[in-house]
Amino acid sequence: MIYLITTIVFTSVMLLSAAFLYHLLLRKSVLTGRLEGLFPAKKQAAHPESGLWSYKLSRLGESIQLPAKEQSKYTRLLVAAGYSRDSVYLFFGAKVLLACALPLLYLLIYAAPRHITFSSLSLLVVTAGAAIGYLLPSYWLYDRKKRRQLEIFHTLPDLLDLMTVCVEAGLSMDAALIRTTETPQFEKDPLAREIKIATMETRAGKPRMEALKDMAERTMVDDIRAFVTMLAQTERFGTSLSQALRTYSDGLRIKRRQIAEEAAAKTTIKMVFPLILFIFPALLVVILGPAIIQIGKIFK
């Protein structure tokens, strides 16, 4: 009995000592905790397989040797579409993957079971599939860029109105930009994100006009370039910033209304082909059909 009590006491003391030493030796200091808060560790992806696929596609894209001008063009397009510069290799890898996957699917699903793998039609389909697979990501990227640019164009007048209110309330230009991007209305807006990047660059020591010009180059929107030019002229000549912002936002609204009127005027021309091909033949059948039936009965 005495041996059992001794063993239990010894084990308890050892466990308590180990827990105390573990807490004492491995406890993080206050400085270490603050440093880890400033530089948080990268969290593991929720789907490690998707990260692995992205890595493999990036490595595949790095193997493509494109001219520097072509690679720079796709990099600018990806940045204008809202992606990082490093995603250009992932984009190239996706192009190569689709260029190989579409012909392979055709050969495995359709051509191989029918034993027409080496026919002229199969070669033509394989070539067309490879071309379509290689060009499909480019068309997707252009469409993504245009949608983002259109969203930025439609958001710019509203953002300028809020910025005008902030400037008239006594805020500086930098403070007005920061206050505008913090509004819940523009929380997920691409233009607000670009302005946040520009303000962070300004805080890091970059001149404000250079940061705004880089923003205009990233978005590739002509109205943003004109807006940055207007701000530069206002700062250079000392004119009223609020009046300049209000005038520019009114001009953007007029331009937006003119674009809407132009699109509405084009609908009449676009409706001609559906009318001729689909609606008019149906109307002719409905109107002339009974008459043709009656005439047929008369001549029987």
39 versus 276: the higher-pLDDT residue is 276
Mean local confidence (pLDDT), 100-120: 83
- Over residues 65-104, the pLDDT tens digits come to 778 888 888 999 999 998 988 888 888 888 888 888 888 8
* Full set of structural domains in the chain with CATH: 59-145 (no CATH), 149-259 (1.20.81)
pLDDT at 50 over 50: no
- Over residues 158-217, the pLDDT tens digits come to 888 888 999 988 888 888 888 888 888 887 889 889 999 998 998 888 888 899 999 999
Q: What's the CA gap between 223 and 201, in Å, rounded?
A: 21
- What pTM was computed for the model? 0.70
pLDDT at residue 254, as a whole number: 92
CB neighbour list of residue 166: distance below 8 Å, 6 or more residues apart:
175, 176, 179, 180
- Over residues 277-293, the pLDDT tens digits come to 888 888 888 888 888 88
pLDDT at residue 44, as a whole number: 40
CB neighbour list of residue 233: distance below 8 Å, 6 or more residues apart:
239
Mean local confidence (pLDDT), 240-265: 89
* Residue 1 pLDDT class (50, 70, 90 cuts): low
